[in-house]
A and B are shown apart, each in its own frame.
Chain A
């Protein structure tokens, strides 16, 4: 376990887009790519998410889920739809 108590508190309370169910509607609070199941480095993952429009304040909605383990997911980000895996969506903190 790394980090100070404050951030680990946050980690417990954060809702991660990767955990959310279909039909979830929310807003992006921030990106946190440190602990995800992704094969990308945190830096690279965050960069790609931002490039696809996942930035603070954007409205997100989970529109569809895949068959196997409900993965990947199709997410409406403001007015575009992005398909991605749950492991990458873990980096997106929403409310």
Chain B
């Protein structure tokens, strides 16, 4: 059955609260944040109205007009006009407006009316409008626009009750869809529509009695030509310091916990079960456990990013960075996707859909994987903790945190450099694209939504640990344990395993950059996901070294590797394309394998060259 449920679609200008409404209607947890262009895909969900109608609702990317300038806006246009493959025209469009900021949405409403579909206007964020003392004559507005109007507070419990009630009333009657009169609006059409919208606003909306002066006051500091940049640098610096220092106690707790668990299993097992015992202790607990230990750091980095996003800082950061990004040949809207890539390159690459120009979008996609994603944190932390002393500089700077900051800076610098080079060689004649971005009012981050956001990310991380990483660990444990050493053999048993054979076969290729065969073994499954390398090293060294090694992989590395090797591996991870999912998304978003292959090759080449330089330089300096 193709279900007779009614189809609703949420349309409106960017950042008006469509996704917040979608989440509260359907109970989903789609990403909400305080900057324009968060949603770049169509998302579908379902709910049942109070009167028992079953409804499917589509959340759509925000847009200022149906013109469809960029890939995300095209989705909205195609759905609204019924041109989207496999998706019927919505029965009812809910046009969502920010009640404090009606100008652009009302113009869009006038444009949408020409499409002729049944429509209802939702004045969202009415709580903020009321707080500022804005009054809106809803009856008059409804009359002027010829549309039913309902108010809502998408982020508050009960804030959509009225919307539900009115939707039921609306759906109870039958509605005729008129034929679409929509044509791409000309400039004159847009101007006329804007004048009409402004006229209606002047007639029905009173000026705020308590205007938002806070946003302006904050901006005069945050967007100050000098202090603005200083603040941005401080925020990033504190973020990376926090990743190190705040997470430490929790990580030690987890790490001790896993060590104790491993020991417990070791002690409980009857003596004859050596193989199973090795699998559980070395494969599972040392491997997967060594990745889960990093959960506190992942939580902290996401906490920072989510707070900045909800507060409304992202658009400001884009403003501050615009000239610097432009100097590297990047589009003004590339900043937010790149900053999101600190969390993970995949949403970052998806977010490039807001970029209207194809070349600019491609450049951004190519460099997004160079931004230091959270999956690199385990690798960096492991090596830094093993090789960099935890001394404090100038009384407040943690040296390990400083090195971490340096690695992030190296990622950013290399991304900008690659972009500048790509621009120079590939599309030299291409002029810089413009930057136009609405700066939303600041909003107090909501505890609940931050908590849900962090929880969702933590769950995803654990899910990965339990699937991708776990399955890779099983593979590595198997390769590192079989074939078993012949009786009476000398040296650790792992030297006779498949893993050692593979590692030794690859070693000549990797010796110039200072990697030993154990690292070679970790890098191959590490192509699936970056954290796998940490887990793999944990397993390989613990099988090799016995149970003492199982607990303290960091200490083992400090003994077995030279500093030159460690630095070389750190540098390798800045560049290497060690993430299959990212490559798959690049392929999907660019519509073909070509750019995926380009990304893979250029990152691999960069990684090899940079590690080669680092290793040889470090050796020349005598860092053993």
B partners with A: yes
Q: How many residues of B contact A (CB 8 A)?
A: 41
CB proximity to A under 8 Å, residues B83-127: 100-101, 103-104
A-facing mask of B320-346, CB < 8 A → 1, else 0? 101110100000100000000000000
CB proximity to A under 8 Å, residues B174-205: 187, 190-191, 194-195, 198
Q: Inside 8 A of B437's CB, which chain A residues have their CB?
A: 82-84
A43 to B184, CA, bound (A): 14
Complex contact A43–B434 (CB within 8 A): no
| A3 to B: closest C-beta gap in Å | 19
Helix, strand, loop or mixed for chain A's interface?
mixed
A88 to B332, CA, bound (A): 13
A25 to B332, CA, bound (A): 25
A45 to B315, CA, bound (A): 21
A72 to B317, CA, bound (A): 12
Complex contact B65–A51 (CB within 8 A): yes
Complex contact B103–A79 (CB within 8 A): yes
Complex contact A43–B104 (CB within 8 A): no
Q: Interface stretch among B221-229, B299-307, B370-378?
A: B221-229
Contact A88 to B190, CB < 8 A, known contacts A53-B103, A68-B323, A79-B103: no
A-facing mask of B363-398, CB < 8 A → 1, else 0? 000000000000000000000000000000000000
Q: Inside 8 A of A55's CB, which chain B residues have their CB?
A: 191, 194-195, 198
**Partner among B190, B191, B433 whose Cβ is within 8 Å of the Cβ of A39:** B433
Instruction: Bin chain A's interface residue count.
Output: 35 or more
Q: Indicate if B41 sits at the interface (CB-CB under 8 A).
A: no
A85 to B191, CA, bound (A): 22
Complex contact A52–B104 (CB within 8 A): yes
Complex contact B320–A85 (CB within 8 A): no
**Partner among A39, A66, A84, A87 whose Cβ is within 8 Å of the Cβ of B225:** A66
A82 to B14, CA, bound (A): 13
Q: Inside 8 A of A56's CB, which chain B residues have their CB?
A: 191
Q: Inside 8 A of B228's CB, which chain A residues have their CB?
A: 67
Q: Inside 8 A of B433's CB, which chain A residues have their CB?
A: 39
Give the one of A48, A69, A83 with max B CB within 10 A: A83
Q: Inside 8 A of B436's CB, which chain A residues have their CB?
A: 48, 52, 82-84, 88
A82 to B322, CA, bound (A): 14
Contact A45 to B104, CB < 8 A, known contacts A50-B194, A71-B323: no
Complex contact A85–B216 (CB within 8 A): no
**Partner among A57, A66, A88 whose Cβ is within 8 Å of the Cβ of B320:** A66
**Partner among A43, A71, A83, A85 whose Cβ is within 8 Å of the Cβ of B187:** A43
Q: Inside 8 A of A74's CB, which chain B residues have their CB?
A: 219, 223, 319, 439
Q: Indicate if A40 sits at the interface (CB-CB under 8 A).
A: yes
Q: Indicate if B466 sits at the interface (CB-CB under 8 A).
A: no
Using CB atoms, name the residue of chain A closest to B322: A72
A53 to B315, CA, bound (A): 18
Q: Indicate if A20 sits at the interface (CB-CB under 8 A).
A: no
Give the one of A38, A47, A57, A79 with max B CB within 10 A: A79
Q: Indicate if B427 sits at the interface (CB-CB under 8 A).
A: no
Complex contact B65–A70 (CB within 8 A): no
Q: Indicate if A29 sits at the interface (CB-CB under 8 A).
A: no
CB proximity to A under 8 Å, residues B286-306: none
Complex contact B104–A80 (CB within 8 A): yes
Complex contact A50–B191 (CB within 8 A): yes
A51 to B215, CA, bound (A): 23
| B333 to A: closest C-beta gap in Å | 11
A73 to B624, CA, bound (A): 51
**Partner among B103, B195, B225 whose Cβ is within 8 Å of the Cβ of A67:** B225
Q: Indicate if B431 sits at the interface (CB-CB under 8 A).
A: yes
| A45 to B: closest C-beta gap in Å | 7
Complex contact B434–A83 (CB within 8 A): no
Complex contact A63–B219 (CB within 8 A): yes
Q: Indicate if B463 sits at the interface (CB-CB under 8 A).
A: no
**Partner among A46, A52, A63, A85 whose Cβ is within 8 Å of the Cβ of B322:** A85
**Partner among B103, B195, B318, B326 whose Cβ is within 8 Å of the Cβ of A80:** B103
Q: Inside 8 A of B194's CB, which chain A residues have their CB?
A: 50, 53, 55
Contact A72 to B319, CB < 8 A, known contacts A64-B219, A81-B439, A82-B439: yes
Q: Inside 8 A of B187's CB, which chain A residues have their CB?
A: 43, 46-47, 50
| A60 to B: closest C-beta gap in Å | 13
Give the one of B100, B228, B319, B320 with max A CB within 10 A: B319
Q: Indicate if A21 sits at the interface (CB-CB under 8 A).
A: no
A57 to B191, CA, bound (A): 11
A65 to B547, CA, bound (A): 60
Q: Could you list some 27 contacts between A and B, CB below 8 A?
A: A38-B434, A39-B434, A43-B187, A45-B434, A48-B436, A52-B104, A53-B103, A55-B198, A63-B223, A64-B224, A67-B226, A68-B323, A70-B225, A74-B219, A74-B223, A74-B319, A78-B103, A79-B101, A80-B101, A82-B437, A82-B439, A83-B315, A83-B435, A83-B438, A84-B434, A85-B322, A88-B436
Give 4 closest A-B pairs by Cβ, nearest first: A39-B431, A64-B223, A68-B323, A81-B439
A positions within 8 Å CB-CB of B:
38-40, 43, 45-48, 50-53, 55-57, 63-72, 74, 78-85, 87-88
Given contacts A46-B187, A84-B437, could you give 4 more A-B pairs where the C-beta distance is less than 8 Å?
A63-B219, A66-B323, A83-B435, A85-B322
